[in-house]
Chains A and B, each alone.
Chain A
Amino acid sequence: MAKRVEQIRGPFDPQGQPNFESQNSVYLGVFAWNLAGGGAPTIAVMEDPERRRDYWQWPAASHLIKEADRIGCEFQVPFGRWLGHGGITEYNENTLDFLTVAAGLAPLTSNILLPSTAHIGYQHHPVQFAKWGAAIDHMSDGRWGLNVVAGWIRDEVEMFGETFMDHDLRYDVCDEFVTFMKHCWYADEPFDFEGDYFTGKDIWVTPKPSRKPRPVLVNAGYSPAGVDFATKHCDWLFAANPSGDPQDLGDVANRAKEQAEKYNRQVRVMSFCYCIWEETDEKAETLLAEQQGMMDELATSWHLYRGLDQPGTKTGASFSLPLGGETATLKQAVGAENFVRYGLGIAGRQIVGGYDSVAEHIRMLHTDYGQEGQLFCWLDPLRGIHQLEDHIIPRLRKMGLRK
C-alpha cells in the first residue's frame, strides 16, 4: 500500500519555484493565436478571413509561433475554448486544443515557453495532467507550462455533465487539483491521495518534468479568490484590464506581490493586450474606431453574456455589471463603451497607437504599474509579429528594456 500524502491544499512548493529567467526586463508573448478570430469579434476579420480569422489552422499557426520563437518572444499563451460564440464571424468556433498546441509546437520551436491553457474543472483528473505535462515538458526540454483556468462558462461546464459551481469554490477545486498534480511531479515513490474532489491510489508518474523542480504555472485570476490561488500556486499572473485604467493593473501587481509574500512565494505579473499598431497615433485611432464600429454584436453579446452569467458571488470582479431589463440589449446593459472595450481583446488592456507611443505604453506599464511582460493579440497576428520585430522590439531595446 502506498503512503497517503498529507497535504491536499497549497501553498505547496517544497522544492521551491522554478526559475524562468530571461535576459530582458520586459517579457513578450503572443496571446489567443489558436482560435478563430482570436480576441477580435469584429466584422473587420471578414475582409481577409485567412489572415484575420483562420490563422488558427495549423500551417499558419505553427508558422506564427515559429516566428515568435525566432524573434525572441519568451511566451505564447493559447486560449482555452470548448464553445464558440457564433455570430457573423463565427467567432471562436474553431480552436486548437491545449495538448495539441503544446506538444505540436515542441519539435518546431527552440526557446519559447509552451504553456497549455486548460479548464481543469472540465472532468479532468490531476494525474492525467501531471502525465501529459511531464511528457510535453520532456519532449520540449523543459518548456511546458500550465495556465490554470477554473472554468467560467456555464454552457461549457454543463457540456461535461457537471454543475456550475460557485466562483470561489471553483478555485478551491483548482487548489486541490494543482496540489495533487505537484505531488505527482515531486514524489519519489508511489503515493495515495485522498482529497475532497480527487482521489487516487498507488500513483507513480514518470518521466519527471525536465524543468526543476516543476513546470511553470500561470493563472489569469482577477478576483480576490483568483489572485489568492495564483499567489499560492503559480509563478506568473496574467492580468486583465476591464476598466481600462492602468492603475487597476498596478493594484493587481501590488496585491499579488503582497499576498505571495505571505505565502513566502514570488509571483510575477504580466498583462494581455489587444493591439492596433500603426505608423502614427492617428492612423491607429482611426482603425480602432473602424473596428469598434464593425463589432460582431451577436458574438460579442454571447461572449459577454457568458461571462456575466455566474452563479453565486464573484467577489470583487469588476465584470459584474447589472443586467438591464428583458428588452434591453446586452450592449445597452453594459454600456456601449464597455461593450467594445470588453469585446476587443477579451477584457484585456488595449494598446493602440503609433510605434513610438506603443513602446512608451509598454515601458509605462512595466515601470509604473509593475507589468513585467506583455502578451499581445492583434487583428492580423502575423503582421503583429512582424511589427513587433521591426518596430517595437528595436524601440524597447533603445529604452534598455530588451537586450
Chain B
Amino acid sequence: MTSETTETHSPEGAEQPEEEITQTVALQTLQPQRKFHQKVAITRGPFDPGGQPDVESPHRLLVGLWGWNVSCGTVASRAVLEDRDRFRDYWQWPRASALVKSADRAGFDFELPFERRFGYAGEIGFHEDSLDSLTTAPALAQVTENLTLFSSIHMNEHAHPLHIARFGGNFDHVSNGRWGLNIVPGWSRRDAEVFGLDTDYSLRYEIADEFVTLMKHWWSLTTPFEFEGEYFKSTRVGMVGPRPTRQPRPILICGDASEGAVDFAAKHCDWLLCNAPEDDLSLLAEHVERTRVYAAHNYGRRLKMLVQVFMTMAETAESAQAEYDELVAAIDSTAADNIVREALEQPGEAEGLLDTAIADRLGDGSLEELVGTANYRKLAIGFGGIHLMGSFDDVAEQLRDLADDHMQDAVALSFLDPMKGVHEVEDELMPRLKKMGLRA
C-alpha cells in the first residue's frame, strides 16, 4: 500500500504555534492563540490519510466469533432454554470473557459484537440483554493477546465522531493496535427514538461519510483544526492523544448490500460485510466482483469481503442435521416474527434479503408464508447469516467454497453453543483448514 504524505490533508496554511521560548506569558497572547487552527478542506470521502491499514494476513480465510455479547446470540429458538448458561446467557462477563479468551487461543482472528438498544421479546427474550460493544473492547484487550476487537456503532443513534475517534484511539492504545470499528448506518427506527432523534434515513450514508471523515482527521492530524461539515461542526478540534497504535488507523468495516452501503464501504472502509440470499450463493461472487471493481475503479481502494455464518457441525452429517432440525422445530415465533417484521419495516430503500413488494403485504397472514420459509428460518436462526451444516469435513468444505467460489476473505461465526463451537473450530476445523491451505 502506498502511503500518502500527511501534507496532502493538512489544514491549509496551518502552522505549528510558535514555540514559546520565554517563560513570560502575556495575557493577550492567550486569547488570539485560539484562532491559529485552520479549517480542513476535506469533509467527505474517499479519504485515507496515510493509506489503508495493511490488512495482509498469512491466512486466506480469516475466522471470527460473532454475536457473543447478546442473549441468545443469533438463535431465536426455544432450544436456547435447554441450557441457559451455555446457550442464552453467555453474554454475562465471566462466561463471555472466557469465551473470547478461548477464541483468541484457538486462533480466531477477530470478534464481532452486536450493538443493541432493545430486544425482540418472545419466550426466550431474544437480545433482551447485551453488553455494549464499546466498553467490552478495552476490557477484552486485557484478557486477550492477538485477536482484533471490534466495536459497532449505529449512525442513527446519538453518537459523535469525536467521541468514537477518541475512544477508538484509546482502545487501540490499550490493545496494542487490535481495535476496529463496524459502522452500521442504522436500520431500526427504534434505535433513533431511544435518543429522541428522528433521523432522515435517506441521509444516513451522507452522515456516515462525514462522521468517518472527521474521525480520520482526528486520527491522523497533529495540529488542531476546524471542521465545518453539514452534520458536524467544530470550531476547534483539539489534539489530545493517544492516537491509534495501528498505522495509519484502525480497521473499518461496514455491513449490508444496498447500493448506499457498498458506496460508503468502497469510499471509507477496509472490509465489507456481505449479505447473501440463501438459495443462490452464486449471486454472492457476482456481488463481490462488482463491489471490488467499483471500489478500485471509483476510489482506488481495496475491500476485504466478510460473511456472517451460523454453523451447526457434529461428527456426522446426520447428527448435525438432527440438531439443526431441533432448532428449527423450536423457533420462538414471537421473537422470530419481530426480527422479520423489523427487517421488512426497514426505512428507506429496500435492502438485503427482502423485497419491498412483500413489505406492502405485511399483515396479510403469517410472516413465514409472506417471506417464504427459507428466508424466515434464515432470520430466525443465524440472524440473516449463511447456514453451514454437516460433519466437520462437510463444514470445512463449505468454508473452502466460500473462500474459493464465493471470494470471501473472512467469516464471522455464530453457534447455538458458542463455547462448544470455539472448541470445535480449534480441534476440528483449524487443522482441516490448514491442510486445505486456507490457514497458515
Contacts and interface: CB of A to CB of B under 8 A. Distances in A.
Nearest to A86: B17
A83 B25 contact: no
B85 interface: no
Nearest to A138: B93
Interface stretch (A267-275, A311-319, A320-328): A320-328
Interface string A82-95: 11101110001111
Interface SS of chain B: helix, strand, loop or mixed?
Answer: mixed
Instruction: Return the 5 tightest CB-CB contacts between A and B, nearest first.
Output: A199-B196, A83-B238, A94-B241, A100-B170, A104-B138
User: Most A CB atoms within 10 A — which of B23, B167, B232, B234?
Assistant: B23
Contacts of B167: 97, 99-100
A96 B173 contact: yes
A127 interface: yes
A317 B170 CA distance: 34
A240 interface: no
A104 B141 CA distance: 7
Contact of A204 (B23, B118, B233, B235): B118
Given A103-B139, A138-B131, A161 B234 contact: yes
Nearest to A92: B240
Interface in A268-323: 297-298, 301-302, 305, 323
Contacts of A297: 23-25
A207 B239 CA distance: 34
B234 A328 contact: no
Contact of A132 (B27, B132, B239, B242): B132
Contact of A328 (B17, B27, B131): B27
Contacts of A95: 240-241
A20 interface: no
A336 to B, nearest CB: 12
B8 interface: no
B166 interface: yes
Nearest to B166: A97
A255 B404 CA distance: 72
Interface of B: 17, 20, 23-28, 30, 34, 92-93, 97, 117-119, 128-132, 134-139, 141-143, 158, 160, 162-163, 166-167, 170-171, 173-174, 190, 193-196, 232-242
Interface string A317-354: 00000011011111101000000000000000000000
A328 B135 contact: no
Given A125-B158, A158-B235, A329-B26, A135 B195 contact: no
Contact of B139 (A106, A200, A202, A204): A106
A368 interface: no
A198 B117 CA distance: 17
Interface string A27-68: 000000000100000000000000000000110001000000
Size bracket, chain A contacts: 35 or more
A203 B194 contact: yes
Given A81-B240, A95-B240, A97-B167, A200 B25 contact: no
B173 A135 contact: no
Given A95-B241, A206-B130, A298 B141 contact: no
A403 interface: no
B195 A127 contact: yes
Interface of A: 36, 57-58, 62, 81-84, 86-88, 92-97, 99-100, 102-104, 106-108, 122-125, 127-128, 131-132, 135-136, 138-139, 155-156, 158-161, 190, 198-204, 206-207, 297-298, 301-302, 305, 323-324, 326-331, 333
Nearest to A207: B129
Contacts of A127: 117, 158, 194-195
Contacts of A122: 160, 163
Contacts of A103: 135-139
Contacts of B241: 36, 93-95
A137 to B, nearest CB: 10
A160 B237 CA distance: 8
B24 A329 contact: yes
A70 B34 CA distance: 43
A123 B160 contact: yes
A235 to B, nearest CB: 22
A388 B118 CA distance: 46
Given A135-B131, A198-B196, A100 B174 contact: yes
A301 B30 contact: yes
A170 B162 CA distance: 21
A324 B232 contact: no
B138 A139 contact: no
A58 B26 CA distance: 36
Given A136-B135, A156-B238, A305-B30, A100 B158 contact: no
A202 B158 CA distance: 15
A139 B184 CA distance: 25
B28 A326 contact: yes
Nearest to B141: A104
25 contacts: A62-B174, A93-B240, A97-B170, A100-B138, A100-B167, A104-B174, A123-B160, A123-B162, A124-B163, A127-B117, A136-B135, A138-B93, A159-B235, A161-B233, A199-B196, A200-B195, A201-B193, A204-B118, A207-B131, A297-B23, A301-B27, A301-B30, A327-B26, A328-B27, A329-B26
Given A135-B136, A206-B129, A331-B25, A100 B171 contact: yes
Contacts of A106: 139, 142
Contacts of B190: 202
A87 B139 contact: no
Given A100-B167, A135-B132, A326-B27, 6 more contacts: A58-B173, A97-B170, A127-B194, A159-B234, A202-B118, A326-B28
A29 B186 CA distance: 42
Contacts of A328: 26-27
A305 B339 CA distance: 54
Nearest to B196: A199
User: Most A CB atoms within 10 A — which of B117, B135, B141?
Assistant: B135
Contact of A125 (B136, B171, B195): B195
A62 B141 CA distance: 12
A83 B240 CA distance: 5
A99 B130 contact: no
B242 A99 contact: no
Contact of B142 (A108, A200, A330, A333): A108
B155 to A, nearest CB: 14
A159 B237 contact: yes
